[in-house]
Amino acid sequence: MNNNKFKKIAKDVISSEIKSLQKLKSSIDKNFNNVVNAITNCRKGKVILSGVGKSGIIAKKISSTLSSVGTPSFFVDASSCSHGDLGQISSNDVLILISNSGESSELKNIIQYANRNKNIILIGIVSKKNSLLYRNSDIKILLPEVKEAGPGNIVPTSSTIMQMAIGDAIAISTMKQKKFGEKDFRKFHPSGSIGARLKTVEDLMLKGNKIPFINENTNMRLALKIITKKKLGVLVVQNNSKKTSGIITDGQIRRVNEKKGNLDHLQVKNVMTKNPVSVEKEILAAKALSLMNSKRITSLCVHQKNLKNKTIGIIHIHNILENNIQ
């Protein structure tokens, strides 16, 4: 088989799965709203998912996604439920079972247990309308019957793609219903590339004694010594009321020294840049980096909301780049 045939197979598989997703999109009805409402209203109980085989793997993924976007959830192994793990499922829980056929023998005991406890909401995500799971579910998500990609219509491909997609749709819908935003998401993702993208200026800024403050009436000769000692290349200038009045960089000092030849008769306020660029501490570090690049500067003052003239921190471009934020 030549490489062109492999490319054709790949395109055929993807085309088949796209058609399945299009059918899924058209099939969304009011039951989807009922699923989202059941999950968002589950405050006294737990959100539990289960499935068998490929459906079980997808159930694990959906559970993980729900947990990461504000709905604590966990997966139970269907086989283990018949040997004591049904004890993990209790009143006021929302139980989501995923099965293509809806007839997996491992799910029967779970379905019977849920039906005996009327305070458990059983949500069935299934492709067969007359199946055991469909008939016994309180809320039914009926996935369209589609042809699996590949020969023989036997390999779970198109059907599992639909299961994954409906799970993502549920997770994002509950996320929006709960108004779960970037700040909330950041709490659960402190590491990795996602964690880096969600870091705020406050997470990375220098604060307290590390902020290189200087009074605007300070002699420039002394300012040169301070900026050299601080090794940040910038000083935040304050007036006598401790309000930020400007910023001065080592480049400015060098240029003035080269031009004037004598710094002793100059004060910081004669050289500083007035109204320095300042950002609120809550903004994303990535946004601060973009601002630095657009302004062609390497540092930003940081302030609290509505208190722009009161610097509480300073962030340097190196603080951002060292955290792999781009």
Give residue 251's pLDDT.
85
In a domain, 169, yes or no: yes
| 45/74 Cα distance (integer angstroms) | 12
Contact 281, 201 (CB under 8 A): yes
SS3 category, 237: strand
In a domain, 187, yes or no: no
Verify that 47 and 148 share a domain, yes or no. yes
Give the closest residue to 113 by CA, choosing from 125, 104, 105, 122. Answer: 122
In a domain, 64, yes or no: yes
SS3 category, 178: coil
Whole-structure pTM over 0.85, yes or no? no
Contact 158, 148 (CB under 8 A): yes
| 288/146 Cα distance (integer angstroms) | 48
| 131/104 Cα distance (integer angstroms) | 10
In a domain, 41, yes or no: yes
Give residue 289's pLDDT.
92
Give residue 80's pLDDT.
92
In a domain, 191, yes or no: no
Beta-strand pair 273-274/244-249: antiparallel
Tokens of 283: 């903004």
In a domain, 28, yes or no: yes
| 91/95 Cα distance (integer angstroms) | 10
- Residue 278, beta-bridge partner list: 301
Q: How many domains does the chain have?
A: 2
Verify that 94 and 150 share a domain, yes or no. yes
- Residue 248, beta-bridge partner list: 235
Verify that 216 and 150 share a domain, yes or no. no
SS3 category, 304: coil
Give residue 250's pLDDT.
84
Tens of pLDDT along the chain (326 residues)?
567 888 999 999 999 999 999 999 999 999 999 999 999 999 999 999 999 999 999 999 999 999 999 999 999 999 999 899 999 999 999 999 999 999 999 999 999 999 998 899 999 999 999 999 999 999 999 999 999 998 888 999 999 999 999 999 999 999 999 998 877 777 776 677 777 778 889 999 999 989 889 999 998 888 888 888 888 889 999 999 999 999 998 888 888 877 776 777 888 888 888 989 999 999 898 899 999 999 998 899 999 888 888 999 999 998 888 887 87
In a domain, 326, yes or no: no
Verify that 167 and 228 share a domain, yes or no. no
Residue 296 sits in a domain whose CATH number is 3.10.580.10
Give residue 229's pLDDT.
86
| 275/257 Cα distance (integer angstroms) | 23
Verify that 152 and 65 share a domain, yes or no. yes
- 10 Å Cβ neighbour count for 229? 9
Residues of the domain holding 304: 201-321
